[in-house]
């Protein structure tokens, strides 16, 4: 028997994600429209996967550190 193991990660809305990032929800939605942050546009809603936001945030922090050291 072949069993496919996958984990389901619930998506989070713009308001919750913005609160955790310290941004205004409209700022976060603008960033999503501009493809500056990983997001899903589902109907009229922007949704975010927490693990992808975490990876994105870490990459932003590392690029900031790299630029300040140059």
- Span 14-60, pLDDT tens digits: 999 999 999 999 999 999 999 999 999 999 999 999 999 999 999 98
Which pTM value belongs to this model?
0.80
Distance from CA of residue 38 to its chain's centroid?
5
* pLDDT-derived band at 4, boundaries 50, 70, 90: low
- Long-range pairs, 19-25, Cβ under 8 A, ≥24: 20/53, 21/53, 21/57
Residue 6 has pLDDT above 80, yes or no: no
């Amino acid at each position: 028997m072949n069993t496919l193991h996958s984990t389901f990660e619930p998506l989070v809305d713009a308001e919750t994600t913005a609160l955790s990032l310290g941004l205004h929800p409209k700022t976060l939605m603008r960033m999503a429209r501009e493809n500056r942050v990983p997001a899903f546009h589902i109907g009229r809603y922007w949704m975010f996967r927490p693990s992808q936001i975490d990876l994105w945030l870490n990459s932003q922090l590392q690029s900031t550190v790299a630029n300040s050291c140059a």
